[in-house]
Amino acid sequence: MKSNFIFLHKKFQELEIIGSLAEDYLYTDVNSSLIKLGLFGETIVNLMFILDDIKPLAVENIHANRIKLLIKKGLIPIETENIFMSLRKSRNKAIHEGYASYNQAIVLLEMAYHLGIWFMQTYGNPNCIPVDFFLPENRTIDYLSALKEKEKTIEKLCQEITKYSPDPKAICHQREMQSQAAAQRLNLGKLEERLE
């Protein structure tokens, strides 16, 4: 599946992975999608601290305070401040309350995508212009249908097995020959000698 976050691959692969995981979880585990989106924003903030050589906060070094410090330093403009805060708050709600809104996850996914572009153009490649955001395709597997299909296949194979009636004496003789050949190849007698 193609990801909206592929443009981050060369310079910020960890962000690409987090963003694509948020997309993957959109249809199967919305709560995890919201958590990954919050992690996406937090990872950008942490990268900004590293890339701008900003020392970690001595007291209450939490994500919200790191965002506030970057705002104070003029590194986060008002347009992206709201995105950072929305991602952070949704992540906290998902973690602490088990929150899982599909509609909100779609909106936050697009917000994270645009935040990724802002970050890439600011810290990576100012000429980066990725394709327009698209809703990832739903690759959810219909497990019930898949299970029914496998059961039909098993039933068909079982019917074929009952039709097959080999000569038990021939099979027994063949198995005996294979057993002896395998034992000789493995040199099992030498193992017994080591026990003595």
Instruction: Please state the domain extents for the chain.
Output: 4-141, 144-195
* CA distance linking residue 49 with residue 73, whole number of Å: 11
CA separation (Å) from 160 to 113, 155, 164, 168?
53, 9, 7, 18
Whole-number pLDDT of residue 38? 97
Out of 1.10.1060, 1.10.150, 1.20.120, 1.10.10, the CATH code matching 4-141 is 1.20.120
Whole-number pLDDT of residue 149? 74
* CA distance linking residue 60 with residue 128, whole number of Å: 35
Whole-number pLDDT of residue 69? 95
Model pTM above 0.75: no
Q: How many CB atoms lie within 10 A of CB 117?
A: 19
Whole-number pLDDT of residue 171? 66
pLDDT by residue for the chain (196 residues), tens only, comes to 689 999 999 999 999 999 999 999 999 999 999 999 999 999 999 999 999 999 999 999 999 999 999 999 999 999 899 999 999 999 999 999 999 999 999 999 999 999 999 999 999 999 998 889 998 888 666 656 766 776 777 677 667 666 666 666 776 677 677 777 776 677 666 655 655 5
Whole-number pLDDT of residue 140? 66
Whole-number pLDDT of residue 156? 72
Residue 122: name the closest of 79, 164, 160, 158 by CA: 79
Burial of 64 (0-12, 13-18, 19+ CB in 10 A): middle
